[in-house]
Amino acid sequence: MNIVVITHNYIRRRGDLTALYLHRLSAGLVDRGLTVTVVCPHAPGLAREETIDGVNIIRFPYLFSQKAPIVYGGSMHQEVAGSWWTKIVFGNFLWSFYREADKVCRRLNADLLWANWWVPPGLVAARIAARRKIPLVVSSHGTDIALLEKKGIMNILSRYVYRRARCATVVSTFLKGRLLRHVKVISEDRVQVIPMPVGMETFPKTDPPQNETPILLSVARFTRQKRLDDVIMAAAKLARTGVSFRVIMVGEGPLEVELKELVERQDLADRFEFVPLVAQQRLGELYSQSDIVVLSSEGEGFGLVLVEAGLTGRPVIGARSGGIVDIVEDGVNGLLYDPGDIDALAGCMEKLFSDRHLRSAMGEAGHERAMAHFSTPVLIDRVYDLFASLMPKQESVPR
């Protein structure tokens, strides 16, 4: 089976974290006997063609890609909306993307197109799928689903893409609901929930730490959506009752100064430690050194942090919102509370801070749940089975 992956975001070299989960899935499909070719944008310093872990990567050039690429920075949508000049560059980007992907599909006689993000890769893939009669799977990871809520041209373009997709995947039931609410041309039975895989080697299971003072770990961007001020205010509430604990906040973002000032005002400076974004290996160490992991976001697309915590065997606290409810089974591998309910969050924190045995039991359950539902081999199998189901029986490849 020849799979052609069409994406605007992919690892640029070994060790790169950019869309690493997509590379893990692609390499896993190669290990199962499929041929996987990725078509993605070129950028300065990258090879036009190379193979990494058995995955063939073809990078196409476009207007100014050698000097000022509009991809790999995480802000393409904002840049394109910012000026007419970037719109012109984006138009050339789309045409170059289509031309290269179509050429690859023709040369390889592609059996299936896999577009990651419905826009812009889905636009390119939908045109090729319709023209060459190739089955198309469109996978969304969160940021592109948010664009569906914009009316006008986005609504028209999304219908164009999903009408031509044989199947769509999203990373959580929350995002599935948003997709079906905004795109009426695709039925519920054609949308599957397949989360993104985590680097299991980076987050190995470890024994619970023997911290004399329990440590709560938060890993999140410092933005409003993450509601980190709720964590600070819940901590302040507990501190006033004499509960002993420490909090480590890992991240960066526009609210960094504001959050640090809030910690000072609540007289929590001796309990809080702010850590800048760190390498994955160091992040795995922080999970192992912590007793509890919290994710206080509202409307979180998935909640990768909680899966990482589960792999390391740590109990979690999560807001009952978005994709978090796919990961946390309340009272089993962690505790859920309603977003913004600071009293409830403080209660969850106190319950776990005060009970080492409960933390251990929930951490063990979290590891079992993460391995059963979110481990890389399990998710590779699910993607493989989906692709095989779209192929004529005689063309499917046995595992």
Residue 336, token pair as written in the block: 């859920």
Contacts of residue 391, Cβ cutoff 8 Å, sequence gap at least 6? 1, 111, 112, 135
Query: Strand pairing of 49-52 and 55-60?
Result: antiparallel
**Does residue 234 share a domain with residue 190?**
no
pLDDT at residue 396 in the model:
46
Determine the 3-state secondary structure of 306 from DSSP: helix
Q: Would 164 be classed as within a structural domain?
A: yes
**Does residue 40 share a domain with residue 187?**
yes
Using CA atoms, how far apart are residues 157 and 123, in angstroms rounded to an integer? 7
For the chain, 399 residues long, give each residue's pLDDT as a single digit of tens.
Answer: 999 999 999 999 988 888 999 999 999 999 999 999 999 999 899 999 999 999 999 999 998 887 777 787 666 666 666 677 778 888 999 999 999 999 999 999 999 999 999 999 999 999 999 999 999 999 998 889 988 888 788 889 999 999 999 999 999 999 999 999 999 999 999 999 999 888 888 899 999 999 999 999 999 999 999 999 999 999 999 999 999 999 999 999 999 999 999 999 999 999 999 999 888 889 999 999 999 999 999 999 999 999 999 999 999 999 999 999 999 999 999 999 999 999 999 999 999 999 999 999 999 999 999 999 999 999 999 999 999 999 876 444 555
**Does residue 235 share a domain with residue 183?**
no
**Does residue 334 share a domain with residue 289?**
yes
Say what angle helices 228-240 and 256-265 make with each other, to 10 degrees. Answer: 10
**Does residue 191 share a domain with residue 228?**
no
Full residue range of the structural domain in which residue 254 is found: 215-373
Give the phi and the psi of residue 278 in degrees, each rounded to 5. Answer: -125, 165
pLDDT at residue 67 in the model:
74
Q: Would 204 be classed as within a structural domain?
A: no
Q: Would 145 be classed as within a structural domain?
A: yes
CATH, residue 349: 3.40.50.2000
DSSP conformation letters of 333-393:
TEEEE-TT-HHHHHHHHHHHHT-HHHHHHHHHHHHHHHHHHT-HHHHHHHHHHHHHHTS-G
Residue (of 360, 40, 321, 287) closest to 173 by Cα position: 321
**Does residue 221 share a domain with residue 184?**
no
**Does residue 120 share a domain with residue 228?**
no
Q: Would 266 be classed as within a structural domain?
A: yes
The structure's pTM equals 0.90
**Does residue 219 share a domain with residue 119?**
no
| Sheet with 167-170, edge to edge strand ranges | 49-52, 55-60, 35-41, 2-7, 112-116, 136-139, 167-170, 191-193
Compute the 3-state secondary structure of the chain and give helix, strand, coil in percent, each to the nearest 5. 45, 15, 35
Q: Would 208 be classed as within a structural domain?
A: no
Q: Please count the structural domains in the chain.
A: 2
pLDDT at residue 280 in the model:
84
Q: Would 203 be classed as within a structural domain?
A: no
Cβ 97 vs Cβ 60: under 8 Å: yes
Using CA atoms, how far apart are residues 256 and 246, in angstroms rounded to an integer? 18
Q: What distance, in Å, lies between the first and last C-alpha atoms of the chain?
A: 12
With b for 16 or more beta-carbon neighbours within 10 A and e for fewer, the 367-385 pattern comes to bebbeeebbbeebbebbbe
Using CA atoms, how far apart are residues 93 and 101, in angstroms rounded to an integer? 12
Q: Would 210 be classed as within a structural domain?
A: no
**Does residue 244 share a domain with residue 159?**
no
pLDDT at residue 85 in the model:
76
Q: Would 336 be classed as within a structural domain?
A: yes
Residue (of 9, 11, 380) closest to 197 by Cα position: 380
**Does residue 187 share a domain with residue 52?**
yes
**Does residue 111 share a domain with residue 18?**
yes
**Does residue 387 share a domain with residue 261?**
no
